[in-house]
Structures are given as structure tokens and as C-alpha cells.
Amino acid sequence: MREIKYRGLNEETGKWVYGWYTKLVEGIRRFDAIISDVDGELTRFYINTKETIGQFTGLHDKNGKEIYEGDIVSAEWTSPGYEEEDDSIPWIGDVVYSDCSYHIHQNKDEYAPTLSNCCIVSIEVIGNIHE
């Protein structure tokens, strides 16, 4: 089972924060926030732009970096039955959640195999759609 966690861009500091996603209500205002353990204490970070919040896919790239929704990845994949690296197809796109799984979205209507698909030979995070 994968670890459930999120990241979001803290616009006050311009840095990514990692932890649990929540909606906070203070009076009549509502906020999106990431709750994170900072030095043994739970700290909340307000996320002003909800679109920067992405969930951890449970997967790591070839360098051990965690892959989140909104990451831009460079992947090599093959068709089923052709798992040889020589037959791989290069694919660059952003990670999206759709149809109950994570995909590499390359353009408006086209998806690579899901990230959990055994046909992915190699994957590397090369950026994200927010920076």
C-alpha cells in the first residue's frame, strides 16, 4: 500500500511543503492547507493556489525522487510483449490522475500507459507544471 501524502507550493516562502492535505475553516473563510511535521510539531502551511496541490503517486523515479501529480517526467516505455529497452518509446509529459490511475499526459487527448504499467522501462522527474 502506498503512502498517502501531498505537496503544495507555499506562496509565502515559494517552497514546496509536504504532508497531509486538508481544508481549514476559520470564521467564514476557507483555506486549503498542507499539515506537515516540522521538528516534531504539526504545522499548517496555507496554500493560496489550490492548483499546486498534488498527491504522491507512490512511485519513485530512477534517481529515487518521489513522483507527484503535476510533475513533468521523461519516460521510456514499450508496448506489452516488447519489454526490451531497444524497442522503447520516449515520452515526456505531466503526471495526471484520470480514470482511477496516474498517467503521463502528453497532449490534450493522448495518454501513455499508466505509471503502474509494467511496460515503463525508465522514468525521471525533470520538472513540474507549476515552476
58-128 CATH choice from 1.10.357, 2.60.40, 2.30.30, 3.40.50: 2.30.30
Give residue limits of the domains in the chain: 6-52, 58-128
pLDDT score for 82? 56
Helix, strand or coil for residue 85?
helix
pLDDT score for 10? 86
Residue identified by cell 470564521 is: 27
Q: List the one residue out of 127, 100, 128, 94 whose CA is nearest residue 116.
A: 100
Which bin fits 130, alpha (ψ -120 to 50), beta or left (φ > 0)? alpha
Mind listing the pLDDT tens digit of every residue in the chain (131 residues)? 678 899 999 878 888 999 999 988 888 888 888 888 888 888 888 888 889 999 999 889 999 999 999 999 998 877 666 555 566 777 888 998 877 788 888 765 565 666 765 677 789 999 999 88
Residue identified by cell 515559494 is: 14
